[in-house]
Amino acid sequence: MSNIASNLKYLRKKKGLTQQQFADTMEIKRASVGAYEEDRAEPKYELLRKIAEFYELSMDELANDQIDEKWKPTPKSNASNLRVLSVTVDTDDRENIELVPVKASAGYLNGYGDPEYVKELPRFSLPMFKQGTYRAFEIKGDSMLPLPSGSTIIAEYVENWHDIKSGQTYVVVSANDGIVYKRIGQKYKEDKGLKLVSDNKTYEAYWVEASDILEVWKAKAFISTELPEPNPEPTLEALSSMMAQMQKTINAVVDKN
């Protein structure tokens, strides 16, 4: 259960602000402050983030911790994504897999933590993904060939970025680069962030700063409408070339002996 209402009331009074003064600071109506503090409504995502920044808290602390005189803040670390993660559930209260199409990727940067935005995304479920929180991202471009452009990556939410493993592939959501599917070149470093590597070697690796990272999702599977082509039968010319190469190798070994 959210503690937003009681926390807002406690924090406002601790700063010595009236509801009107706080409303003026947040550029909202005084009646809205009353509704939030009486638990008749909850602030939208952008306002909640603004309030959290005003009180120098994470959104997770503001929404879930019981903040009072005994409360002690959690030590801050960029290794853990402290933003509120919004999900949807089915009729059996099981989490769905929300799909972020390419055309929705720009909007996702602003709405990924907004429950109203997330519930508008297409959603589905797969029986093999029952434990954990998953999201599906449609990717474009040829930076991760042989995975074709238009493939959909199904990925699991990574809460602690120190758990990210180098050499494995992830969907990284960042403020500047948007949604990218990359291989991790080096483990997460708080002073540098993540090194992202393309499987297509014509693309150079680059770093994304820790402060720029919004979400990280570990790739678990992919869906593609492009079915693999069968391996072509070797031609007579190719077989002759292979035989000639084998003969050269044999001759070289014999000559050495």
Calculate mean pLDDT across residues 120-142.
91
**Average pLDDT for residues 62-90, to the nearest whole number?**
70
Rounded CA-CA distance 7/42 in Å is 12
Higher pLDDT, 165 or 106: 165
The reply to whether 153 and 201 lie within a common domain is: yes
Domain of 139, CATH number, reads: 2.10.109.10
Instruction: Kindly provide the b/e burial profile for residues 204-234, where b requires at least 16 CB atoms within 10 angstroms of the residue's own CB.
Output: eeeebebeebbbbbbbbebeeeeeeeeeeee
Tell me how far apart the alpha carbons of residues 1 and 94 are, in angstroms, rounded to a whole number: 18
Question: Residue 47 sits in which domain range?
Answer: 4-64
51 with 112, same domain: the answer is no
Same domain, 50 and 117: no
In this prediction, residue 73 carries a pLDDT of 64
pLDDT at residue 58 in the model: 80
- Quick check: is 80 in a domain? no
240 lies in a domain?
A: no
Reply yes or no on whether the pLDDT at 1 is more than 90: no
Contact assessment for residue 159 and residue 143, using Cβ atoms and an 8 Å cutoff: no
Per the listing, tokens 């099981």 go with 94
Does the reported pTM lie above 0.75? Answer: no
Q: Looking at this protein, which amino acid is placed at residue 187? A: K
For position 2, what pLDDT does the model report? 75
Q: Is the pLDDT score of 77 beyond 50? A: no
At 20, which CATH number? 1.10.260.40
Dist CA 94 CA 113 (whole Å): 19
Are the beta carbons of 49 and 111 closer than 8 angstroms?
no
CA-nearest of 143, 130, 33 to 89 is: 130
Nearest-CA neighbor of 118 among 131, 107, 130?
107
What is the predicted pLDDT for the residue at 31? Answer: 95
Same domain, 59 and 105: no
Question: pLDDT tens across 204-213, in order?
Answer: 999 999 989 9
Do 205 and 134 sit in the same domain of this protein? Answer: yes
- Specify the pLDDT at position 100: 96
pLDDT at 38 over 60: yes
In a domain, 239, yes or no: no
- Higher per-residue pLDDT: 160 or 27: 27
**So what's the pLDDT on residue 157?**
92
pLDDT higher than threshold 60 for residue 62: yes
pLDDT digits (tens, 9 = 90+) for 150-200: 999 999 999 889 889 999 999 999 988 999 999 999 989 888 899 999 999
Within this chain, do residues 55 and 123 fall inside the same structural domain, yes or no?
Answer: no
| pLDDT for the residue numbered 82 | 46
As a whole-number percent, the residues of the chain with pLDDT over 90 amount to 49
pLDDT, position 228:
77
